Amino acid sequence: MPRSVSGRAVATMSARAFVVVAAALSTLNLLVVFDGLVVTVALPAIQDALGTTSSATSWVITAFAVPLGGTLLLAGRLGDRIGPRPCFAGGLVLFALGLLASGLAGTVPVLLAGRVLQGLGAGLALPNTFALASAIPAPGRRRAVFAASAVAGSSGSAVAAVIGGLLVDGLGWRSVFLVPVPVAVVTAAVLWTMLPGEGRDRGVSLPWTSSAWFVAAAAATVLTISAGSWPAAGVAVVALAGFVVTERRRRDPLLPRGVLAQRSLRGALLGMPGQVVAYNGIVYVGLLWFQAARGLSPWAAGLAFAPVGVGAIAGSRLAMVVLARIGWRGGAVAGLLVSAGALAVLGLVPDAPYLAVVLPVLTVLGAALALAVVTLNVAAGLDSTDGERGAAYGVFETTTHVSSALAVAALAVVLGAAATSADFVRAFLTQAGVTASFTLALVVYLRRSPS
C-alpha cells in the first residue's frame, strides 16, 4: 500500500527537523491547555470590562469548546487527504487570528467570534499533530513526541493559573489573548519550514454531507453539555441520525469502516474518559478547592497545584520506559488506577497538611495522569494504517473533548453554587469512582481482546 501524505512527510524528516517538529507539536498542546485555564482566570475581569453578566461570559468558554469538538474528525480526515502540514499550520494561523480578535474585542459578540476562530483552529490542528506523531516510524522517536506533548500540556496546567493571575493583574485581561499570538505564529512558521512538503491525495474527495452532519452532531453535543441546551440536544440526535444514514450509503465514508474495529483504538476510547475525568477533576475541582476550602489566593493556588506538572515530567519519562518494556496496556491501566487512588486520598483526607500529604499526592497524581495519557495516545493510532491515522485521532480527540465537557458539567453539579468542604470531598471521591470504573472497563476489554 502506498504511503499516505502523513507517512511520506515523516519518512523524509531529518533528525534536526524531528526535534523542531516535536517542539512545535508540544507547543500546540501547551497553547491549547494554557488557553483554557488562563481564560477561566480572566473571566471576572472580562465581565467587569465589557459590562456583561457571568452567564454571558460563560459563553467565552463554550464558544471555544463547541467548534473544537465539532471539527476534530473532519480535520483528521482532511489531514489524511492533504497532509498534516497545511492542517497544522493553517490551524495555528486561525488560532492566532482568534487570539488577536479576542484580545482586541470591544464587545462580547466580537470576543465570542474570536473564540470561535480559536476553536476552529485548534480543531484543525490537534488530530493532525497526533497523526503526524503516530506516523513516525522509529518507536523511540514516536514515544518521545507523545511524552513531550504530555509534559507540555501538564506544564501548561501547572503554570496557567499563576501566569494568568499575573497577566490579568499586571497587564489586563486582553493580555491573556494577545501574549500567545506570536508564539502561535512562530510555531506555525517553524513547522511549515521544517516539515517536508506533501503531495495532495486527489484520489477521492471528502464526503462533505457526512462531514456536515457530524460537525453539527458533535458541536450540538458539546453545546448541550456545556450550556445545558435542550434544543441543542434535539439537533444532536437528528444530526447523528443523518450522519449514520449518510455514512451507510457511501462507499468512502468520512469514518472509514475499519477504524472503529481497531483493537488498540477501542481500548484507548475506553480508557481515555477515565483519564479525562481525573485530569479535569484535579484542574477544575483542585484549583477551586485550594481557594474556597483552603483559603489560598489564585496565584497561590496555582503554585500549590504546580506539583502536578512536576509529576507529569517524571510520568512522561516513565511512559517511554513502560511503552518500550511492557506496552501501552499495562501503562494505561497502572496510570488510571494510581490516578483514581490519588483522588480518593484527597477525598478521604481533605484537611491533610499540604507538605506532608497533599504535595506528594499531587506529584504522584501528575505522574500517573501523564503515564495514562501518553500510553492511551500511542494506543489510539497503533493499529492505524497510512490514510486512517487522521480519522482515528479525530475520533479519539472528539471522545476526549466531549468527555471533558461532560466531566466539567457533572463536577459543577456535584460542587453546587457555593461549594463547601463536604462538596469537595464528594467531588474528589466521585472522580476517583468514575476513573476506577473506566479502568475496570478497560481491563475487562483487554482480557477479552487478543493481543
Residue 154 lies in a domain: no
Considering the domain boundaries, does residue 152 fall inside one? no
Residue 203 lies in a domain: no
| pLDDT one digit per residue (tens) for the chain, 451 residues | 444 545 555 555 556 666 766 777 778 777 877 777 778 777 778 888 888 776 666 678 778 877 887 788 888 888 877 777 788 889 999 999 999 999 999 888 999 999 999 999 998 888 887 777 776 766 777 777 777 776 676 666 667 767 777 887 788 889 989 999 999 998 888 878 776 655 555 444 667 788 788 888 877 887 777 666 778 888 889 988 988 888 888 777 777 777 777 889 899 999 999 999 998 778 778 877 887 788 887 677 778 888 888 888 888 888 888 988 888 999 999 999 999 999 999 999 988 999 999 999 999 999 999 899 989 988 888 777 766 777 788 888 888 878 887 787 788 778 776 678 888 899 999 999 999 999 999 999 998 876 5
Number of domains composing the chain? 3
241 and 288 both lie in a single domain: no
Give yes or no: residues 226 and 317 share one domain: no
Same domain, 274 and 380: yes
Based on the fold, state whether residues 169 and 283 are members of the same structural domain. no
Burial class (CB in 10 A: 0-12, 13-18, 19+), 74: buried
Please tell me whether residues 369 and 237 are part of one structural domain. no
Same domain, 218 and 273: no
Do 224 and 309 lie in one domain? The reply is no
One domain for residues 119 and 220: no
Q: What is the pTM of this model?
A: 0.77
Same domain, 347 and 214: no
243 and 270 part of one domain: no
- CATH number of 192's domain: 1.20.1250.20
Domain ends where: 196, 216, 241? 196
Q: Are residues 186 and 212 in the same domain?
A: no
Task: Please indicate, yes or no, if residue 142 is contained in any of the structural domains.
Answer: no
Domain containing 414 equals 261-451
User: Is 167 part of any domain?
Assistant: yes
In a domain, 119, yes or no: yes
Residues 36, 167, single domain; the answer is: yes
Residue 129 is assigned to a structural domain of this protein: yes
Dihedral over Cα of 122, 125, 128, 132: its sign: negative
The answer to whether residue 201 sits within a structural domain is no
